[in-house]
Structure 1
Amino acid sequence: MRRPRRSRRSPSALVPLVVALSLVVGALWLRDQVVGESTDRSIAGIPVAPLGDLATGPLGSPVTGAGARASWPPVPADASNHPLGAPSAPRSRSLAYAFMDTLSGPGSEPVRWDPCRPIHVVVNSASAPPGAAKLLSTGLGEVSRVTGLRFVLDGATDEPPASQRPPTDPGRYGDRWSPVLVAWTDPTRVPELAGSVAGLAGPAGAPYTSERDKHWVSGTVYLDGPSFTQILNRPGDGWWQGQAIVLHELAHLAGLTHIDDTSQLMAPRNSRQLTFADGDLEGLRRLGGGPCFT
């Protein structure tokens, strides 16, 4: 191998070159600081993470008289008398999480789903982007793994998204809690998705008489299909950004609300976070440890 030939250029001739390179490097650094984060976070103005929670249930309307439990649908055949799974997320000291609702009294225990029943899910794919089924199944699998909650995809539905959806719909779903509705839609059907919001989600609660009766039984996840199409078509990490939005919304469904900490996936705006962080995981772990209502 030949040894590289040394330049005969004098030290004084190198000074302009060094200065020019320094200016170029400095300009590139400044561009990254001023522009880099905004272009990294969005596609055509669409943020990587959505802005909205959607708490849909009548949890704030207690039932008096004979008691709320008499109004609940019968226990389904696929219910168990013990939890169907266990949270896999390890216990953390992080406090970077917040719950949709909590029980009164000491401990700030969250309102949770019944871990002894599967959470049934139906999907309206009217405005679904390519790959929507994989996004949803992967997201449900991850939330199930972290919380121990079990999800069951019941299949397709023509139920349209609505701003107020009751936890039961006997005419459509029979005598049971309504399955969670995941609707791929757009701002013409769900105006709250206008602008920079790519998704909205939240759980719905059972009627209750006492604090111990409070729990989530249904819910909605509304995803902006046209926005997702743009996000998923982004070169490089478009798929992962779309998946991050789905995870964010499914965590709302599980019972987490926004937290003002940009290191967490549950921040109102995503800061390059593509999966659950320590606070998200701790909040989801706690949401998976509720009591049975069978």
Structure 2
Amino acid sequence: MSLLVTIVIVGVVLLGIPALLGRYSSGASTPGVTHGSSGLPAAAPVSGMPLGGGDDATGSAVLWPPVPADAKNTPLGRPPVQRSASTDYAFLNRVSDDASRPVAWDPCRPIHLVVNAASAPPGADRLLTEAASQVSLATGLQFVIEGPTDERPSEDRPTVDQARYGNRWSPVLVSWTDPGVVPRLKGTVVGLAGPDEASSVGAQDRHYVSGIVDFDGPAFNDILTSGDGWANARSIAMHELGHLVGLDHVPAKSQIMYESDQGRTQFGKGDLEGLRQLGSGPCFTR
């Protein structure tokens, strides 16, 4: 089950639809994000592969699906060099109680996402793409947005769902939904997100392989009609994707990873340092 972390929105003022809403073309370049499924049918099972990592797998790898076609032996991207000594960041998990290394995603594989757009506001695809690109620039992690799915949001989502996605890690489920479907989105909470870890037999094998992101579509629609709507909505999406890659809330209001929206539209120095470390994890491609 994913570790879910929320963000709440405060002080939204409805002022009218901003002109920015019409300025984003789906063909625009967004570093670190591609669309499609790298040869895998979007939201469809992959047939002909046995469960598990294969006969030559060792340790925790025997519990894992086969290495996907788009994995590499070296990181797909690199995080920026350290630019700040800020400590205004926190991680959801560390590999062990006495370890400094955070649990992170495998940088040698892209993070695959599928999208349930049941309650998506206008511009939702572009919003997700831009937020993912900002996280990619800060971490070096690469994202693949496969396309639509009819999978409904659930906190008890399996990390491998062969019937729906084949013998691979379940792609991250991004759901544009509402409080009637996801009760934890009631009130001022407009987003939830959390990663799922791979099955492991040792602390050093801990890493994230799947997860969920739930957005309150009607609430985002209201945010998008405020004066700085696009920038504010994108920053909330960045906050949730920060949780997805492993960041926790921080007490510093100067950071996007503060527990409630403070109107920041770019990652702070602490956010960036935490994201840099999360993009510097080891590869698990064998």
Secondary structure of 1:98's aligned partner: coil
Structure 1: 4+ residue segments shifted above 4 A: none
The one-letter code matched in structure 2 to 1:194 is K
**1:289 lines up with 2:284 in the alignment:** no
Q: Distance in 2 between matches of 1:230 and 1:86?
A: 36
For the Cα contact (< 8 Å) 2:86–2:273, is it kept in 1? yes
Matches within 5 A, 1:32-181: 41-43=11-13, 67-88=59-80, 90-104=82-96, 106-181=98-173
CA contact (8 A) 1:124 1:182 kept: yes
- Contact in 2 for aligned 1:89/1:147 (Cα 8 Å): no
Correspondence 1:242 to 2:212: no
8 A contact 1:84–1:149 mirrored in 2: yes
Contact 1:202/1:221 (<8 A) preserved:
yes
- Give the letter aligned to residue 12 of structure 2: S
**Structure 1 range deviating more: 90-99 or 110-119:** 90-99
Find the counterpart in structure 1 of residue 30 from structure 2.
Answer: none
* Whole-angstrom CA distance in 2 between matches of 1:251 and 1:210: 25
When normalised by structure 2's length, the TM-score is 0.79
Deviations 1:39-88 (A, max 9, x none): 983247xxxxxxxxxxxxxxxxxxxxx95321100001110000000013
Task: Give the deviation of 1:204 after TM superposition.
Answer: 0.5
Kept in 2, the 8 Å contact 1:127–1:226? The answer is: yes
Letter in 1 for 2:249: H
Give % identity: 54
1:243 Cα deviation after fit: 0.7
Q: What residue number does 2:264 align with? A: 273
Contact 1:103 1:111 in 2 (8 A): yes
Query: Separation in 2 of the partners of 1:76 and 1:100?
Result: 26
| AA matched with 2:260 | R
Amino acid in structure 1 at the alignment position of 2:138: V
More helix by share: 1
Which residue of the partner structure matches residue 219 of structure 2? 227
Measured after TM superposition, the shift of residue 238 of structure 1 is 1.1
Question: Residue 196 of structure 2 aligns to a residue in which SS?
Answer: strand
Going from structure 1 to structure 2, the CA distance change for 1:104 and 1:40 (only over 3 Å counts) comes to: closer
Cα 1:72–1:194 shift into 2, 3 Å? same
Asked if 2 retains the 8 angstrom alpha-carbon contact of 1:91 and 1:285, the reply is no
Amino acid at match of 1:125: A
| Residues 105 and 222 (structure 1), Cα distance of their counterparts in 2 relative to 1, 3 Å cut | closer
- Corresponding residue of 1:204: 196
* Residue 177 (structure 2) aligns with: 185
Provide the aligned length of Structure 1 versus Structure 2.
Answer: 234
**Aligned-partner residue type, residue 207 of structure 1:** S
Equivalent residue letter for 2:275: L
What amino acid does structure 2 have at the position aligned with 1:83? Answer: P
Which amino acid in 1 is paired with 2:11? Answer: R
Q: Which of the residues 220, 242, 245 maps onto 1:251?
A: 242
Q: Kindly tell me: are residues 40 and 98 of structure 1, through their superposed partners in 2, closer, same or farther at Cα, counting changes over 3 Å?
A: closer
* Alignment partner of 1:262 is 2:262: no
Unaligned 5+ segments in structure 1 are: 1-38, 45-65
Cα distance between partner residues in 2 of 1:227 and 1:40: 12
Would the aligned equivalents of 1:202 and 1:219 in 2 still touch at CA under 8 Å? Answer: yes
Displacement of 1:92 in angstroms is: 1.8
Structure-2 change in CA distance of 1:106 and 1:172 (3 Å): same
Letter in 2 for 1:262: K
Deviation sequence 1:109-164 (CA, Å, 0-9, x none): 10010000011110000000001011001011111111000000111000000021
Q: State the distance in 2 between where 1:152 and 1:89 align.
A: 24
- Determine helix, strand or coil for the equivalent of 2:240: helix
